[in-house]
């Protein structure tokens, strides 16, 4: 199973909005509504931010939102804050396995 494709890096200023794309195929993103997004700060474990394409776990800020169209999913972060600076990974169910994206480093300038 090939990894999902994410941009290597994105950047934005505090208060701005950014979007991270995640491109897959009809065998993963396009075939299921089971896309999830994870935030990882350096040296820390990943944290679930979005699941089932658009849902936020309890405790995750509503500044984080997800969407999907065809074989591409997106994570949007609005009102950027300095603590949002981290690596972000998308993932999709791809029966019976899971596939991750290569990760995107978000820099808050």
Q: Which residues bind another protein (CB under 8 A)?
A: 1, 3, 32, 34, 36, 38, 45-48, 51-52, 57, 89, 91, 93, 95-103
In the bound state with another protein, the residue whose beta carbon lies nearer, of 1 and 11, is: 1
Closest separation in Å from C-beta 81 to another protein: 22
Other beta carbons within 10 angstroms of residue 15's beta carbon come to 10
- In 3D, which of 53, 58, 64 has the Cα closest to residue 93? 53
In the bound state with another protein, the residue whose beta carbon lies nearer, of 80 and 88, is: 88
Q: Using an 8 Å Cβ cutoff, are 78 and 68 in contact?
A: no
Residue with tokens 């199973």: 1
Closest separation in Å from C-beta 33 to another protein: 9
In the bound state with another protein, the residue whose beta carbon lies nearer, of 83 and 98, is: 98
In the bound state with another protein, the residue whose beta carbon lies nearer, of 5 and 19, is: 5
Closest separation in Å from C-beta 51 to another protein: 4
Q: How many CA atoms lie within 13 A of 100 on its CB side?
A: 11
Residue with tokens 């969407």: 67
Closest separation in Å from C-beta 44 to another protein: 8
C-alpha 92/C-alpha 89 separation (Å) is: 10
């Amino acid at each position: 199973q090939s990894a999902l494709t994410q941009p290597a890096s994105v950047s934005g200023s505090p208060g701005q909005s950014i979007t991270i794309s995640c491109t897959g195929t009809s065998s993963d993103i396009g075939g299921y509504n089971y896309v999830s997004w994870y935030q990882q700060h350096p040296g820390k474990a990943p944290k679930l931010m979005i699941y089932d394409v658009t849902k936020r776990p309890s405790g995750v800020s509503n500044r984080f939102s997800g969407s999907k169209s065809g074989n591409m999913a997106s994570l949007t972060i609005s009102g950027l804050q300095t603590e949002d600076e981290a690596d972000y990974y998308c993932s999709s169910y791809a029966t019976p396995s899971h596939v991750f994206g290569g990760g995107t480093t978000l820099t808050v300038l």
